[in-house]
Amino acid sequence: MLEALNERILNEQLIHATISQPRMRSNEVKRIKLKPVMVKERYHIQVEYQYERILKHDNIVLADFPAKLEAIFADFRQAQLRFTEESVHIQLSKKNKVLWKQNAEQVTNASLTHNRKKQYVLEENTAYPFLVRLGVQTADGKVKQAKFDKFKQINRFVEMIDDSLSYLPKDRTIRILDFGSGKSYLTFALYHYLKIEKGLDIHVTGLDLKKEVIEECAQIARDLNYEHLEFLVGDINDYNDETAVDMVVTLHACDVATDMALARAVRWGASVILSVPCCQHELNRQLQAPALDIMLQHGLVKERFAALATDSIRAEILSLVGYETQLLEFIDMAHTPKNILIRAYYTGKKPSAEQFERYERFTQLLHAQPFLAKELKIERP
Ligand SMILES: C[S@@+](CC[C@H](N)C(=O)[O-])C[C@H]1O[C@@H](n2cnc3c(N)ncnc32)[C@H](O)[C@@H]1O
């Protein structure tokens, strides 16, 4: 089996693969995804390790991949692989007997895997009216040099939206709220993707404190005939519209404004939350943990630690109230240090007593009194 797989993979025929069914329930990695990627002009296989709440990535050069594949199958018993000309399903018995099922597929352009350029959901040389109006592209669709990072960020965000589609309602208008939308690059991007490209029935609201910025966004929406996109001037803290929202988005809403938005989302029972927090000051002020003094004596380390601990606590609180939550890398560090995205899907799963205990242990250790916990009245049942 390994030989047959390696032959295809070393010939650069892999399109994507999912490897699942850990042999041991205690395995921390629950699933693995593979796909080819170009890193510094070199073909690699990207291994995505899916833990219960986090994802980790490792890019492996082809020559090293057979050893990695063998190690993966020492821990997993099922695989679904898509190659350029066929798909393969593999099931291993406990004693490693191989069941191999193979189906011919329509030949997929192998150049996809050879493509040296990143494939973006929004393409580089297609003019998108909203990107032209927002000054990211020129009228003929060229991404402006100074706006390339923004273009990447928008694309990454659209990828995240795409991954979340199955969690959104299909039988009624999907309501989406972008809290602290600012210049609203992402608000326009999600409208374009869901309404114009996917034809979904949506209603999107962007909310921000800045009156002039919001008026300009509203004008662009009118000019582009984006009828179901509205912009409101207002404070997240005072936003009391009772109409339930299905997806809540925040990108770089400062400090506890992110928590306020998360709390609103939870109260609405929003199915999807995508939130990239910004600066965090709350925990930095509360933090007292003698066991961590070696770290916390350095202001810089304390600030970063507080930011990471805050996002971990936010993720934990969301899972305590029934969300499957992951912290993902939003965009690589070279572009912005504010690069953690909290992604939460509502499942309604009830937390266990141990989950509460470990949450309490952690917050007590840090002397943390999270705003979000107070807003959501988090306490042991
Ligand atoms: C760093 S900007 C990000 C803007 C936009 N989301 C983006 O990523 O391009 C943060 C935005 O949040 C808005 N904001 C901060 N606190 C807010 C609050 N309490 N209510 C509404 N908007 C808020 C600010 O006015 C600002 O436009």
Q: Examine the pLDDT at 334 and tell me if it is beyond 80.
A: no
Q: Among residues of the chain, what percentage have pLDDT more than 70?
A: 94
Q: Examine the pLDDT at 315 and tell me if it is beyond 80.
A: yes
Cα separation of 373 and 370, whole Å? 5
| Tens-digit pLDDT profile for residues 263-294 | 999 999 999 999 988 877 889 999 999 999 99
- For 26-32, what is the mean pLDDT? 90
Q: What pLDDT score was predicted for residue 198? A: 87
Q: What pLDDT score was predicted for residue 335? A: 52
Short-list 180, 330, 336, CA closest to 262: 180
Beta strand 55-61 with 86-92: parallel, antiparallel or unpaired?
A: unpaired
Q: Examine the pLDDT at 116 and tell me if it is beyond 50.
A: no
| Mean pLDDT score across all residues of the chain | 89
Q: Examine the pLDDT at 27 and tell me if it is beyond 60.
A: yes
Residues facing 174 on adjacent strands: 202
How is the chain split into domains, by residue range? 2-114, 129-375
Q: pLDDT-based confidence at 237, cuts 50/70/90?
A: confident
Cα separation of 216 and 135, whole Å? 13
Q: Examine the pLDDT at 41 and tell me if it is beyond 80.
A: no
| Tens-digit pLDDT profile for residues 60-98 | 999 999 999 999 999 999 999 999 889 999 999 989 999
Poorest-pLDDT segment among 132-136, 157-161, 267-271, 321-325: 157-161
CATH of 129-375, one of 1.10.340.30, 3.20.20.10, 3.40.1010.10, 3.40.50.150: 3.40.50.150
Residue 257 in contact with ligand 1 by CB distance below 6 A: yes
Residue 54 in contact with ligand 1 by CB distance below 6 A: no
Helix H segments across 80-120?
111-114
Residue 231 in contact with ligand 1 by CB distance below 6 A: no
Name which residue sits closest to atom 8 of ligand 1, judged by CA.
251
Half-sphere exposure (Cβ direction) of 90: Cα atoms closer than 13 Å: 22
- Choosing from 252, 282, 371 the residue with most ligand 1 atoms within 8 A of its CB, the one to mutate for a pocket test is 252
Short-list 167, 26, 8, CA closest to 79: 8
- For 297-309, what is the mean pLDDT? 93
Query: What predicted TM-score, i.e. pTM, was given to this entire model?
Result: 0.71
Residues facing 297 on adjacent strands: none
Q: Examine the pLDDT at 113 and tell me if it is beyond 50.
A: no
Cα separation of 233 and 235, whole Å? 7
